[in-house]
Each structure stands twice: as structure tokens, then as C-alpha cells.
Structure 1
Amino acid sequence: MSSLYDPEQFLSRLPHLPKDKPAAVVFNAHITGLAVTRALGRENIPVLALDRDARAYGLASKYLHSAAICPNPLTNEEDFVDFLLQMGERLPVKAVLFPSNDEWVFAVSRHRDRLEKYYHFPFSPLEIVESVLNKKKLYQTAERLGVPIPKTWYPDEWMDIEAEAKKVTYPCILKPVEQRSFYDAFSAKVLEAHTPNEVIQLLKKVYPHSVVIQEIVPAGLSNYVSLCSYMRSNGEMVAGFVGRKLEQYPPDFGTGCLVKSEDLPDLAELGANILRTLAYYGISESEFILDHRDGVYKLLDINTRTWKWIGLPIACGWNLPLYAYEEAIGSPLTLPVSPTRKGMRWVYLKDYLTLKASGKYVSPQEHLHVHELAELLTGTSETCLDAVLDLDDPVPAARLLENFYTRSYVCPC
């Protein structure tokens, strides 16, 4: 039975939610939202999912109480917030919010004073979130704190574009200050330039989108590592998991499609110190790159939310969404005794197989062998999990297959 309802039916179901178990509201419901839904639903927490696209995989999960299509917060923020307020008026108790993309984080954060009557926010207030998600503010804060970052330039401060462009180290990338609208406009997370003239032309192309310019650190893909953590509001890191990117899609500046768990305690402590300094609490992913030129891990990005492969730390015993939920409602945290499953891999088969077919992969020694694929498909693998395929919750994978022969679905990750 489908959990997706039209808005009126969806709203009518909310008063019947249990009073002793606050609901979790997950949005959007693509790969990230699906992982959060499963992580909480398996703990018998009622999950409500919202998305702007009915094709989102997570809307088909059996672990949902109810789901609905909602206004797009990027283009209709006020309508989206109004829908949350309508939901809140019908909830028997305050629910916990789980935004899984930057635009959703910003939308609820900007209206936190109106929404907190009905919802718990398991992450820092807007001024802190904005200082982290805004790339210019993040890098300038890192420079001020002495946190290593790749060489970075701020073209909106340039007086003489031609002269300043000549000072940039090439090749470089133009990285958006705000990612979602940039991706919607250019279907790319970043744009690459090899000459001053290319930078000048790209700056004209992307206007009025604000960007920073950053050197490309010469490194293999496996030099990209992330601290996946949950920071309590008192600055205590109760979960510090490290994942290493093995493959990404698209192959140039894409998102991870094959990721492996790692044991790097020094990196975990570095990331935790940065988050404490920024006064951020909640779930986050802090991405670093190891620069072999000086042997230093350099900060690339911080996601102040759940992210695409959050299913990996969950599978390794670190249920970050559960910790956020429990602290938000004032319950003791259900921390594992010995969580880490070293060498565990997460794969998004759709992108991974597309990458394999293109021949543009970089870590063939880490790829899945035939018997590993067989175990993955039969649900017997103890060393790998797929982002969508799960025999315990099979309909999201069927939705993925259906999307192949219907209208194209652009991943909003």
C-alpha cells in the first residue's frame, strides 16, 4: 500500500499519530531521505516524508507513516513553510525536522521562530548554519582560524578582474556560494577553468550567482575523506565516523557512488575541533582532501545536514539520525557498544554501473567483484550496502527502475 497521499489526505492523517512517539519529518525523500527514513522507521519512529517530486525513491519506503508532495522551497519558500505550519497545527506533539539538502535547511532555518512552536530543530540556528553552508563565509572563517584550506580567491571582491585572474593558480574551479540554484542553472556542482580568460568568461556566464575560486589540489580520488558526525549542543562529539571516497559520478566533481569506512582518529578530532569552533551542533559531513605536496588534510566543505551516503555510518552502527532525534526530544542517546565495521562499503549501483560502463573510474582495485554483486542483490552481503536496494524494503528499488523508462529524474543530492 502506498504511503503517498494528496495534501488534504496527508494532513488529515496527522492528528492520529501517536502522542508518545514524536514524528520525524524528512525532506526531501531521495537517497538521503530514504536512508534517514529507514534508520528511524526501523526504530518504530513514525516518519513523515515530503518531496517536490513524486518519483523520489524514499516516498515508496514501507517505513513511512505518510508522505506528500510539497512546494519546492527553492522557488516557493513561503508556500513550503506554510505547508509545514499547516502540518504543525495538526500534529499531536512536536515533530523533529530532518532536512537533507541545503535549500531545505535554509528554508526552515529562516523561519525557525515560526516553526519552533510545532517542530524540534536538531541543528544550530540560521546564523551558524549560514556561516558554514555559505562557501565564502566558511573559507574566510577557516582562514581566520588557521584551518588549512586549498588556495581560495573571492572574485566578488576584485576591482580589476583581468589583473586578479592572472594571480589565480591553474587549473582551478569556480564553486558556488549557494549550491542548489547553481546546480539547477548549470547542471554542475562546480565549473573548471585552465586560464585567466576562461575564469573571466565563466564569471560572466554564472552571473548573478556568487562563486569562490579554488585551486585544484593534485590528488587521487581516494584522498577525499569525510568526517561524519553528530555533535551535541554542548560541543560533545558522540559519533565520529570517517568515510573515504573511492569513486564518484559524474567522474569530474561528482558525488560519491562508492565509499568505504576508515579508521582515522586524527582526522576525526580535527573535524570535531572545527565544528566546535564554528559552534555547530547536529548531524554534519566535513569533507577534507589530503594534499600530498605538504601532507596536510585541507577542508573542502561542511554539510550541516544529512548527506547522500549517510547510510554507510548507519550500517556501521552509528545511527546519526536516531541520536539527533533522541536529543531533540530529550531522550537518552542509544549509543552502540562497539559500532564500527571496518572496510564496509556503500554503493549507489545506478551511478556506479554507469561509471563502470564509461570506463572513467579510478579505483578498480576497490570495485565490487561478481560474487559481491550477487550478495548485494540477494541481500546476503555483510561488507557492502546499496543506497536504494534493500530486500527488507524493496519498493524504492522498483521506483528507481521505473524512473529509467519514464521521465528522467535528476538527483537533487
Structure 2
Amino acid sequence: MGGQGVELDRSVPALLFKVGRYPLHQGSVGAVRSLGRAGVAVHAVVEDAYTPTALSRHLSRRHVWPTTGLEDPAELLDRLLRIGRGLPARAVLVPTDDEAALLAAGARDRLAECFLLPGVEPDLLAELADKRGLYRRCLAHGVPTPDTRFPADRDRLVACAGELGYPVVVKNLAPWDRLRAPVVAGTTLVPDERALLALVGAPRAVALQAYVPREVAQDWIVHLYAAPDGRCAPVFTGLKLRSWPPHAGVTTYARALANPGLARRSARLCRAIGYRGPADLDWRLDLRDGRYKLVDFNPRLGAQFRMFETECGLDVVRALHLDLTGRAIPAGAQREGRRYVAEHLDVAALLAYRGRAGAARPPGYPPVRGGLEPAWPAWDDPLPAAAAAVRALAVAVRRYGR
């Protein structure tokens, strides 16, 4: 479970940084375990001392800082630098959400005093994280993407939804919107006009996206690291099998499956736009026309990144650390068939999918093999799973009470 064939520079610590309160974040726990098992001192910004991330035995130090996303960016940067100045050496900064990634990229020169960061252009990163900006990039580079509209008022909202057809996908327009003025809690599938007006209400910034029905679609995940020379290595591909909310939300169950064509397509896009650093891309294969359509481009570490690793133990967060500390990123094929499950969400997802038509499977879909990577349980790190179970139960009780 350690570094295996990947040797990281243990003199360089890492700091996980996020903006907003979401204590049940499996990606943070995965990053702490991945780097910690390789001998790196890992620090993390956490909401409180009892989040799953804060209780990991692989965490060197927790920094309790319950951010909301409503703070002045200058205030966030000042506090981040104070943490950085207290670290034993310049650290690899690992943003785990879009807001943190945008904040760090925009202040890269200032943060360089304490942190190592990829050399991605802030404007490019902001454009990719914004639904309107990503849509324009896709059109400019000939990348297929679901038809998308950005209505400015109630009349256009209704008209645009009618043009796209119901059900329609509703998304917040830009990363900071979900914290400061969210229209929806996350990607939401709306069945009809009545539900759309009840959800959106008064004119607000929103993105409407055409829905590709699950019966004629496959949802593919690509996680990669784009190095300064433009080379993307590693590039991992996998198939999303369940999500929560169903068919539109975050991944709850998925498998690592090699898709060389999609890997090349994703790497080619990153080279064309000049992207550098870790990325998490969501593609939907529309079986009606045979095209992979880019749904989201998350310019940071993805929550389910631990589904993917090479035979020598390389994953995306280790590739980030290797690159920023001047070490070579070893080549290698991904471990095929490896499964990933986010237990706190997959129980509800499994119940919701039962009796429904599921996503289409690719030809030659292999039997279950390749091992399982659970989000929370780990034989060498038991406390995060216990904390996640308690918090997930508390959330369920509150929702049931409402």
C-alpha cells in the first residue's frame, strides 16, 4: 500500500486546500493516504478536528479553518500564506475544489513564497471551470459537447429549455456561484417546465444543458496530469456506472477501463489549449451519433482519483508531486478493471438504480476483476471510515426530519 515503484521527494511536504464546507470529501482522504503512504508529510485544511480527513493516520497536521467561500479572496490568501510560512519547507499545494484551484492560480506569483504550483494560466483555468467558458472552448476547438444555453431572464429560461427539450440539465454557471448564490445544489435533471420554474424562480445565472438519455449513453471519466512540456502522463480512463443524484450527480461506483481513443482525445485537448496540472474530465458517449461529448472539465484533482493507478503505484496526485519537485513521472499502463465505490452515497444510488434501465455497457465489458478501492475503509487507516459513517448518518437523520 506504500509508494511501490514511485519514489517521491520526502523532504517536500504537501498541503491540501479547499474552500467551503464539505467535510465528507473522499478525494481529500484519498490524497492524504496516497502521499502519506509514500512518505510525504501531508497537511490539510479541514472544517473541524473530526472530519474524516482530519482523523487520517497518514495526515501530519490538520489546519482547522472552516471557510465558506463568502470571504474576501485577499483574506483567504493571507490565511493560506500564514499556514504556508509555518510549514517546514515549500509545499506542493493540492487544491481539491474549483474555487481553491482558481484562487491559487490567480495568486501563483504571491503564493510561490511558500508553495509549488503548476504553471497554468489563471484565465484559462477560470474559463474551463466556467460553463459558458468551457462551452466556448469546445466550439472553438471542435470538441463535441451537449448543446448548452445561458438564459439571462425568465422568458429566455423557458424558451431555452424548450429548445433543448425536457428533461433538461441545470447547472450553476461558475464555480463561486455554488457557494455564494447557488441555483442548484449540484447538477440537476429537471423533468418539465413547472419543475424548472419552481427550481430556478427569479432570473439568475444558470446553465441549461441538453440531456443525453442514460439508455443511449455511456459516462466516461478521464483523470490526467499535464506536464509543463505539454505531455499528458498519466492519462487514466474509466466508466461511471452509478451516481448520486441518479444519472446526473457525483460518481458513486465506477471502473477503470482502458479507452485509448478517449485518452488521446483528452490529451490532445489539453495540449491545444495549453493546460497544465491535474484535471478531471467527464465525457458522455452519445450512442445515437457515436460521439464523445465533453460535459465537464474540472481543473484540479478529482474526488474519485484513487480509482486509477498504474502497476507501479502512480496516481494523479503522486504525478503532481513528482513533477513539481523536479522528478520524472514514470510511464506505465493503468491497472485495468479496478473498481471504486463511494459508500456513503452509493447505498442510495444503488436503491435508486434498482429496477431502472442502466447506462449502456461497452462491447466486451469485462467481468469484475482488478480490485476494489473504497472511498473510506482502509486496513491501515480505520478512523476516516468511522467518521464518515457517523457524519453520513447525521445528514440522513436531518434530511429525514425535514
Q: TM-score range by the shorter chain?
A: 0.7 to 0.9
Verify: 1:403 aligned to 2:381, yes or no.
no
Per the TM alignment, residue 339 of structure 1 is displaced from its structure 2 partner at its CA by 4.1
Q: Does the C-alpha gap of structure 1 residues 199 and 40 become closer, same or farther in structure 2, counting only changes over 3 Å?
A: same
| Partner of residue 208, structure 2 | 213
Amino acid at match of 2:294: L
| Partner of residue 170, structure 1 | 166
Verify: 1:27 aligned to 2:27, yes or no.
no
| Partner of residue 3, structure 1 | none
| Aligned positions of 1:9-408 closer than 5 A | 21-28=11-18, 30-72=25-67, 74-76=69-71, 77-122=73-118, 124-156=120-152, 164=160, 166-179=162-175, 181-182=177-178, 185=182, 188-195=185-192, 199=196, 202-205=199-202, 207-208=203-204, 210-220=205-215, 223-314=218-309, 317-333=313-329, 335=330, 338-358=332-352, 360=354, 383-404=371-392, 406=394
Contact 1:312/1:345, CA 8 A, preserved across alignment: yes
Q: Does the C-alpha gap of structure 1 residues 162 and 386 become closer, same or farther in structure 2, counting only changes over 3 Å?
A: closer
Kindly tell me the number of residue pairs found equivalent between the two proteins: 376
Paired with 1:407 and 1:54, the residues of 2 have a C-alpha distance of 18
Amino acid at match of 1:192: L
Q: Name the Cα RMSD after superposition.
A: 3.1
Contact 2:242/2:251, CA 8 A, preserved across alignment: yes
Paired with 1:351 and 1:87, the residues of 2 have a C-alpha distance of 32
Paired with 1:138 and 1:157, the residues of 2 have a C-alpha distance of 21
Contact 1:23/1:96, CA 8 A, preserved across alignment: yes
Query: In structure 2, the residue corresponding to 1:59 is in which secondary structure?
Result: coil
Q: Does the C-alpha gap of structure 1 residues 175 and 65 become closer, same or farther in structure 2, counting only changes over 3 Å?
A: same
Per the TM alignment, residue 51 of structure 1 is displaced from its structure 2 partner at its CA by 1.8
Paired with 1:230 and 1:300, the residues of 2 have a C-alpha distance of 19
Paired with 1:332 and 1:404, the residues of 2 have a C-alpha distance of 40
* Deviation readout 1:26-51 (Å, 9 max, x if unpaired): 12472111111111111111100112
Quick check: 71-80 or 139-148, which moved more?
Answer: 71-80
Q: Does the C-alpha gap of structure 1 residues 407 and 384 become closer, same or farther in structure 2, counting only changes over 3 Å?
A: closer
Q: Percent identity?
A: 24
Q: Does the C-alpha gap of structure 1 residues 108 and 389 become closer, same or farther in structure 2, counting only changes over 3 Å?
A: same
Determine which structure has the larger helix proportion and give its number: 1
Contact 2:224/2:279, CA 8 A, preserved across alignment: yes
With structure 2 as the length reference, what TM-score do the two structures score? 0.83
Per the TM alignment, residue 112 of structure 1 is displaced from its structure 2 partner at its CA by 2.3
Query: In structure 2, the residue corresponding to 1:284 is in which secondary structure?
Result: strand
| Partner of residue 5, structure 1 | none
Amino acid at match of 2:299: T
Paired with 1:84 and 1:42, the residues of 2 have a C-alpha distance of 25
Paired with 1:289 and 1:311, the residues of 2 have a C-alpha distance of 21
Q: Which runs of 5+ in 2 are unaligned?
A: 1-8, 362-367
Per the TM alignment, residue 104 of structure 1 is displaced from its structure 2 partner at its CA by 1.5
Per the TM alignment, residue 58 of structure 1 is displaced from its structure 2 partner at its CA by 1.3
Query: In structure 1, the residue corresponding to 2:230 is in which secondary structure?
Result: coil
Q: Which runs of 5+ in 1 are unaligned?
A: 1-18, 367-372, 374-380
Amino acid at match of 1:326: L
Quick check: 117-126 or 213-222, which moved more?
Answer: 213-222
Contact 1:158/1:164, CA 8 A, preserved across alignment: no
Quick check: 151-160 or 174-183, which moved more?
Answer: 151-160
Per the TM alignment, residue 181 of structure 1 is displaced from its structure 2 partner at its CA by 3.9
Paired with 1:44 and 1:408, the residues of 2 have a C-alpha distance of 36
Q: Does the C-alpha gap of structure 1 residues 357 and 141 become closer, same or farther in structure 2, counting only changes over 3 Å?
A: closer
Paired with 1:161 and 1:78, the residues of 2 have a C-alpha distance of 35
* Deviation readout 1:73-121 (Å, 9 max, x if unpaired): 5122433322211122233421110011112112222332321111111
Query: In structure 2, the residue corresponding to 1:58 is in which secondary structure?
Result: coil
